[in-house]
Amino acid sequence: MLNLLAPRRGYRVHRNIAYADGARHGMDLYVPDALVGPAPVVLFFYGGAFMAGRKSEYRIVGEALASKGIVVAVPDYRILPQARFPDFLEDGASAFAALKKIAAQYGGDPARIFVAGHSAGAYIAVMLGADPRWLGANMSSLRGVIGIASSYGSSGVGGAANAVFAGRTPSEFQPVQRIDGKRPPMMFASGGKDTVASIEAARALVVKLGSFGSDVEEHVYADAGHMGIILSLAPRFRHVAALRDDIARFVATH
C-alpha cells in the first residue's frame, strides 16, 4: 500500500544486490537520475518488530530521499523465528560493509554513509552507531545515524518479538547502555501520537549522547503516529511531519 504513494520518476532502482549469502541478504538501491558529484548514501532498515518486513515494500523511503539527491539502500535482514539478537545487527554491519564497497559504482560517496531506520529498524541503525563492536573498522566511515519511532530496546519489543532478546541482559542489547564515549552525529524523530514507540527512550539517548559531547538532535512531530511518521515521506502526506526535510538537512550538514 505504501508503494502506491511513491512516484516512479526521478530515480532508478537496482534490485536484489547481495551483501552476503542467504535469502534475506539482499538490498535494493535507489539512485537519483541527476546526481551532482558523489552523493551521500543512506542505508535504511525497515521496521516490523523483528518479525516481518520486506525491502520491496519501502519504495516510499527510496523515492523520498532520492528526490533530495541521496542514494538510498534498503536491505532485508534476518527476522524471527530464524533470527535472534544479534543476528540482525550482524546483517546490518554486513550490509554497511558491502555498501561502502559498491557506493561509488552508483554515484554514492563511500565516505558519506548514514544509517537510518524506522521502529525495529531504528533500533538496528542506532545500535550500529552506539556500539562500535558491530561496525568495527567501518565505524570511522559512519557519517551519521537517523532513528525514527522506536523504543530502542528499552522495554523489549512486545508480544512474540520479546523472544528476540531472550536470555540477554539490557546491558548487552540496549543502545543507551552501550554508549561510553563520543559517537557519530545522531538524529532522533518521534511522533507525538505514537502509542507503540517511546519518546522517552529516544530522549534518554539524546541525553546520554549529549553527555559525551556527541552531535545529537531530537524532533517530535505532534500530529504523527507510529506509521504516520513514515507515511509522511509520501508527497501527499508531507504536511503530517517534516521528516523528509529534516533528514535531508541532517545529511547535508554532516
Grid cell in block for residue 74: 534498503
C-beta separation of 239 from 228 below 8 A: no
User: CATH number of the domain that 184 lies in?
Assistant: 3.40.50.1820
Distance of CA 239 to the CA centre of its chain: 22
Grid cell in block for residue 165: 532478546
Cα–Cα distance between 6 and 63 in angstroms, integer?
A: 6
Considering its fold, how many domains does the chain have in total? 1
Grid cell in block for residue 221: 512531530
Give me the pLDDT at residue 237, please. 94
Grid cell in block for residue 83: 533470527
pTM of full prediction above 0.85: yes
Give me the pLDDT at residue 161, please. 59
Segments of the chain with pLDDT less than 70 = 1, 155-161
Give me the pLDDT at residue 159, please. 58
Give me the pLDDT at residue 13, please. 97
Give me the domain span that covers residue 149. 2-252
CA dihedral angle for residue 34, residue 40, residue 42, residue 43, rounded to 10 degrees: 100
Give me the pLDDT at residue 32, please. 97
